[in-house]
Amino acid sequence: MKKYLLNIGVVLFDRIAMLAFQIWMASYYVQTLGISNYGQWAYTLNIITIIISIFILGIDVIIIKDIVNDKNKTGEYLYTGIIIQLIGFILVVVTAVIIMDNSESIIKYAMASILIANLFIILSKPFYWTYSALIESKYRTASVIVSFFIFIPVIIVYLNIIENKEYVLFVYAIYYVIQFIVSWFIYKYLFKSSSVFSINKGKCKEYSKVGVSLILSTLSVMLFTQTDVLMIKHFIGNVATGEFSAATRLSTSIFILAGILANTFYPKIIKLNNNDKLKFIKIAITTVTLFSIVGSLITTLISPYLTTSLYGENNNISSVLSLHIWCSLFIFSGAFTSRYLYANEFYKVEIVKTILAAIVNIGLNIYTIPMFGVIGAVGSSFVAYFIANYLSFYIFKESRVLFMIQSKAYLLMVRPKLYMKELREIKCLFQ
């Protein structure tokens, strides 16, 4: 258990560093380009993210699972997966260029920066797949911290020499290029990876087949997390898009922690028998929900001061942040329930529940955004997360047990003595 907690601590340090970068970048973009142009950046980022969800097959957790089950074939799993995703990236570039060919200059600069960044994010994946499977995230954290030390002086020089203010958009790409270079050196010389380049044709077919089957799932996730921005731009314009994106940049930076926590325990979830999986999922949901409630309350209280210091006086940004942060109640629990579904290969449930949530989110947005503005989009998101990561589990026979476990986990929050007792029992699974 100590190894997992240490790994979480290390990863949290990593995320704090990344959070600082993302918040600084959003704040700098808003102040340099203005809230309307920041809305254009957010629009471009969301469009490309949706395209990526179609062509970059969501096979990350499948590869991590394979490495956990057979470390001797790590090289085969890593390089087979990365080749598939690089082929997908070529299709992403072609599609993005076709869709945004006649766009204004700021969108073209944004597109170029986002595509470059995503290329290097994909190239870095083999390092992070390995660290996740082996519970060695300290090497990822080392990569992030060293990257920042190099990035800061590089970006100071860059910002002083550029003449066109729209070139600030390439700050995003520059960071991920630097992080890839640093990550490669750490993977090769500090982690001392012995993985040999090899392509497994059988795994290539398996990953492609599973990845294609999961396209609807990943696309649906993107639709109900990214289309808010697209629909806000369509219904009420760039300024509102920028305000919503600036606020959710803060909340979604925190939401990323959900995936990190779940990924840390994913190797263990794979190895547990089904009863122990459910016991662990129950206590994990209770724990992260308690933290979500406390964190959301604090964020709601400080949101006016936080958003003013970062973006200037803007009540809309503050209001969106104070409400959107409450989506964490179901995002954090959903990270663990999704890992249970993947570990048990219940891919159909993952696909259908996210499609259902996407339909609900888009349908609600058609009504709520014109009626209530950006606050309406927040309400639609909350309902979508509630359906995707809780209510929908009751629909399927395979996941109905998750609905019951999650309900019991919520009730456990008001029974502290029983919670502590079950928490001690869970610790035994890690000994």
**Position 231 in a domain:** no
The reply to whether 45 and 182 lie within a common domain is: yes
Same-domain status, 163 and 275: no
Q: Look at residue 7 in the predicted model and tell me its pLDDT.
A: 55
pLDDT at 219 over 90: no
pLDDT, tens digit, for every residue of 235-258? 998 899 999 988 998 888 788 778
What pLDDT score does 26 carry? 86
Do 191 and 267 lie in one domain? The reply is no
Flag whether 84 is in a domain: yes
Question: Is residue 277 included in any domain, yes or no?
Answer: yes
pLDDT digits (tens, 9 = 90+) for 92-111: 999 999 988 767 888 899 99
What is the mean pLDDT of the segment spanning 297-318? 91
pLDDT at residue 2, rounded to an integer? 56
Q: What confidence score (pLDDT) does residue 294 get? A: 94
Higher pLDDT among residues 415 and 216, named by residue:
415
pLDDT of residue 13: 64
191 DSSP 8-state letter: S
Q: Is the dihedral of CA 230, 235, 237, 241 positive or negative?
A: negative
Same domain, 202 and 244: no
The two structure tokens encoding residue 431: 């000994």
155 & 276 share domain: no
Domain range for 246 is 237-431
Domain boundary among 178, 213, 248: 213
Evaluate if residue 290 carries a pLDDT over 60. yes
328 pLDDT tier (thresholds 50, 70, 90): very high
Are 198 and 245 members of one domain? Answer: no
Asked which of 179, 213, 247 is the last residue of a domain, the reply is 213
- Rounded to whole angstroms, the Cα distance separating 217 from 353 reads 8
> Quick one: pLDDT at residue 423?
85
**Concatenated DSSP letters of 287-336:** HHHHHHHHHHHHHHHHHHHHHHHHH-S-HHHHHHHHHHGGGHHHHHHHHH
The predicted model scores a pTM of: 0.76
Do residues 241 and 205 both lie within one domain?
no
Instruction: Kindly state whether residue 295 falls inside one of the protein's structural domains.
Output: yes
Query: 204 and 299 in one domain?
Result: no
In a domain, 60, yes or no: yes
208 and 251 part of one domain: no
Average pLDDT over residues 5-25: 68
Q: What are the structure tokens assigned to 357, written together?
A: 């949530």
Same domain membership, residue 250 and residue 151: no
For residues 17 and 80, membership in a common domain is answered with: yes
Of the ranges 16-30, 159-173, 388-402, which one carries the lowest mean pLDDT score?
16-30
Average pLDDT of the chain, as a whole number: 86
Say if 194 falls within a structural domain: yes
Is 349 within 8 Å of 397 (Cβ atoms)? no
Flag whether pLDDT at 224 surpasses 70: no
Q: Is 58 left (phi over 0), alpha (psi -120 to 50) or beta?
A: beta
On whether residue 230 sits in a domain, the answer given is: no
Q: Are residues 99 and 163 in the same domain?
A: yes
Higher pLDDT, 378 or 205: 378
> Mean pLDDT across the stretch 384-398?
92
Among the residue ranges 40-49, 58-67, 103-112, 333-342, the one predicted with the least confidence is 58-67
Higher pLDDT, 116 or 202: 116
Structural domain count of the chain: 2
